[in-house]
Amino acid sequence: MGFRIDPRRSGRGFVTVTGKVEPRHLNINGVVHGGVYATILDTSMGAAVVSVLGETETTATTSLYVEFLRAAREGETLTARGDVLRRGRHIAFAEGNLFGSDGRRFSQARGTWYIWAQDEPPPPPRPARRP
């Protein structure tokens, strides 16, 4: 995708992802596709969650809410920072912000991640209750 984790601006509980918008990131209107924003934010927040896991733990995104504030265009350098807000035994909460090179915020997001030990599979989904 052309975006990378910046280890110099990442640490325990926070991760920065940065990259330059290329033609392949654009939608038919000539601006960055919303799915690109969501992917960058999910990557930064999910990696932040991974940074607080134990050696035998793994995680997966369970919800992701993204707000699109302004459109980025080709050539813009975008930087996302994901931060863990709270990590519980099985659930982590994170937030992320996506900025342009001039410091303007392009998007913001929140999400949750399920955490489980690698040696035990996650619980199966429960059947839906009928009213």
Domain boundaries, the chain: 3-117
Location of structure tokens 């997001």:
109
Please state whether the predicted TM-score (pTM) of the whole model is above 0.75: yes
DSSP-derived 3-state class of residue 34? helix
Eight-state DSSP code of residue 8: G
| CATH topology (fold) of 3-117 | Thiol Ester Dehydrase; Chain A (3.10.129)
Measure CA of the first residue to CA of the last residue in the chain; give whole Å: 44
Per-residue tens of pLDDT for the chain, all 131 residues: 689 999 999 999 999 999 999 999 999 999 999 999 999 999 999 999 999 999 999 999 999 999 999 999 999 999 999 999 999 999 999 999 999 999 999 999 999 999 999 887 666 777 888 77
